[in-house]
Amino acid sequence: MKLIYFSRVLTIWIVAIVIVFLVLNKNNNSSYLKYGPNNDLVIIGIRINNVLKYALLVFLIIINIIMRNINNEIIRPWIILNIQNTVQQIENKKECYEISIISNFYVWFDWFCSLILLFSQIDICLIDIFVDLLSTIILTRYYLKQKENIIQPFLN
């Protein structure tokens, strides 16, 4: 079975969950479905009720997504390919511990922040999803371009 089929099953699952969520919240006056700065948007006790606070929150979300992608797309693969690879020799074990521990700590930190933010208000969730998808597209394009540059000289 091709991997693309699994991807499409995930897409159908996401659409189904969104539809169920929207149907269940159809007549609900939920503060989660609001958007923008308002008195109901409270993040760890801080009321995000003006444009400046909201813009700062969005800026922090964008920076955190960049940090998440650095961790997930650069640091974690390095850990797998270098530290967890039993054939690979390690020169500086102290750095390996530092990198592994900080990466793992960041995963927990990001998880905590994401829970707080994603369940605060729908627009915050959508901003997070959009920026994360955009960075995934940029990274995928970068990696595919790198493969083309590596493979192209061998084809000539």
| Closest-CA residue to 101 (of 113, 91, 109, 89) | 109
pLDDT tens digits, one per residue of 107-129 = 999 999 999 988 888 889 899 99
Domain regions of the chain by residue span: 34-155
pLDDT tens digits, one per residue of 34-86 = 788 998 888 989 999 999 999 999 999 999 999 999 899 889 998 998 888 88
Q: Quick one: pLDDT at residue 59?
A: 95
User: Alpha helix (H) ranges present in 25-156?
Assistant: 51-70, 76-78, 93-118, 122-155
Q: Quick one: pLDDT at residue 156?
A: 54
Q: Quick check: helix, strand or coil at residue 42? A: strand
Q: What is the pTM of this model?
A: 0.75
